[in-house]
Amino acid sequence: DAEITQSPRHKITETGRQVTLACHQTWNHNNMFWYRQDLGHGLRLIHYSYGVQDTNKGEVSDGYSVSRSNTEDLPLTLESAASSQTSVYFCASSEMGWDEQFFGPGTRLTVL
């Protein structure tokens, strides 16, 4: 069955370190998204991609970057982790634009 996976599921890092969160989908979807989820907020969009070599900034993109070298993967990089980036991160993919996004299980990141 097609699926979307994220790794690691849990990560503890220190302020200033570079961190990369992996997202892999086997749906063959062109559209992929990264969100963060925090108490008191709905899911907030970090970056998204409509296809290979395409990346776009979302609502809360500062301090994050993504790259899309193939259809299946959209890794999210925190260039220099900050305590404000402690959050649960979700990757999603969709077949058509913003419709019916399928979410991964999430990565809980703690920045000390």
Partner 1 sequence: GESVGLHLPTLSVQEGDNSIINCAYSNSASDYFIWYKQESGKGPQFIIDIRSNMDKRQGQRVTVLLNKTVKHLSLQIAATQPGDSAVYFCAERPDYGGSQGNLIFGKGTKLSVKP
Evaluate the CA torsion angle 69, 75, 80, 85 in order and state its sign: positive
d(CA 16, CA 69): 26
Q: By CB under 8 A, how many residues form the interface with partner 1?
A: 25
Q: Which stretch binds partner 1 (CB under 8 A): 11-19, 23-31, 74-82, 93-101?
A: 93-101
Neighbours of 43 (CB within 10 A): 16
Which of 2, 62, 80, 98 is close enough to bind partner 1 by CB under 8 A? 98
Does residue number 105 form part of the binding site for partner 1 (CB under 8 A)?
yes
**Contact indicator for 110, 11 with CB cutoff of 8 Å:** yes
Does residue number 90 form part of the binding site for partner 1 (CB under 8 A)?
yes
Residues 33-62 that bind partner 1 (CB under 8 A): 35, 37, 39-45, 48, 58-59
Helix (H, G, I), strand (E, B) or coil at 63: coil
When the beta carbons of 62 and 100 are compared against partner 1, the nearer one is 100
At position 73, the amino acid (one-letter code) is D
List contacts with partner 1 (CB under 8 A): 35, 37, 39-45, 48, 58-59, 88, 90, 92, 97-106
